[in-house]
Amino acid sequence: MATEQAKQAKAPCNHPKLGPIWVNVHSEDDISKLPSRILKSTDRPRVAVTREYLIILARFLDPDEHVPKTLYDRKDCPEAQFIKLLRARKDAGLKKRGEGDRAKRDYILKFGMHDINDDNNEDLIWRRIKVSGGMKLSVFQDKILNSFIDIMHMPFNGFSFLDDKKYTIANVLPEVGAVLGCTYDLGDKFAHNITVEEILPTDQYSGKTEILAGRWLCPSEDSKGNHIMQELVDDHYAGEEIDPTGFANSMNYRNDMKNWSTWKFDPEEFDIDEARQRLQFALRSKRSVNSSAKSFMSNLTFGLPGQNPFSRLQETVATTPDPVEFAICKGCGKPDDLMRCSRCKGSWYYGKECQKEQWKKHRRAGCAEPKL
């Protein structure tokens, strides 16, 4: 598919009325609402087409626009052809760029919430992490960012996607200053930016994942995105007291409360030791199964799932050992030079030191001889 689309990019189609165009158009389709960029060979398709993509969606969301759906039936309409062409070009560009020596270099990344700023217009909610450039994006998302992908909302967040299992951090972030967007929870849309602050030299490479610093509390689960968090920030700096109930009852905070009656809510708190403990827990966790839906388990008589004191988030995890190409050390998070536990065959470690450090937790988690 990618090869065919790449050929199409070099040799545009010849429309009887429009001349050379990038996509195949049905002769009865009125394409007057489509942007010329996706049609004429003089306007080469580019990746940054947000505005045009909204126009493309509008043509299909309009209840009076039934013609494109009917004419193309099971074939790709011009819009779908164009987006797939962009995907093929992006895919080819990433493969051509490669990793170089960056796969064996440590990255210093700043993971921060987009457009949430303090009184000095500086980033307010962020974490600084060190991670290997050779880590797969799928593993980075699952084990380090620990992002929740709400599959129910996938159709509303894009038409075509690159496979994150094919690429590493070094592939998509080639230089200092490079930025990658990241959305946590496709329903509420907590928008983040991942910015490369530094790429360390190869002779300083450790490959281990570490949390180096951070600022402020994260938003509560299901709190409706960045703009709601910014409102809380503005209220805080205006001297108003923030109601802690939403944080206290949310799935990502209520287990941290030692005593509700004495718990003090401080939005500016960041406990790096606690953050590192969470990272260690995530590194030891089983990998998520991307094709399976995540679900809320709750008693709906107590309100919304995210604010329900009895709710929890449940996901499907793999029961088979991680393939070595997607494995990381359960102790330090390094993605290369790994050895597998000789007893259970299901856990990977960077040497005996990491395995020794994690042995008590690993044994309690059920390290046993594999069943044949």
- Return the residue matching tokens 């004419």: 71
The domains found in the chain, sorted by start residue, are 2-97 (no CATH), 101-314 (3.10.290.30), 324-364 (no CATH)
Whether 283 contacts 143, CB under 8 Å: yes
The predicted structure's pLDDT at residue 321: 78
Sequence length of the chain is 372
| Greatest mean pLDDT range, 55-59, 66-70, 154-158, 179-183 | 179-183
Q: What is the mean pLDDT of residues 289-312?
A: 49
Under the banding of pLDDT at 50, 70 and 90, the label for residue 49 is: very low
CA distance 372 to 365: 20
Structure tokens at 278: 């969470």
Q: What is the mean pLDDT of residues 7-30?
A: 60
Structure tokens at 212: 């180096």
Greater model confidence, 274 or 288: 274
Range scoring the smallest mean pLDDT among 9-18, 56-65, 185-194: 56-65
CA distance 338 to 347: 10
Percent of the chain at pLDDT exceeding 90: 21
Asked whether residue 213 carries a pLDDT value surpassing 60, the answer given is yes
Asked whether residue 362 carries a pLDDT value surpassing 80, the answer given is no
Average pLDDT, the chain: 75
The predicted structure's pLDDT at residue 48: 32
Asked whether residue 36 carries a pLDDT value surpassing 80, the answer given is no
Asked whether residue 161 carries a pLDDT value surpassing 60, the answer given is yes
Under the banding of pLDDT at 50, 70 and 90, the label for residue 110 is: very high
56: DSSP letter: H
Whether 125 contacts 94, CB under 8 Å: no
Single pTM value for the model:
0.78
CA distance 348 to 358: 11
Structure tokens at 31: 């394409």
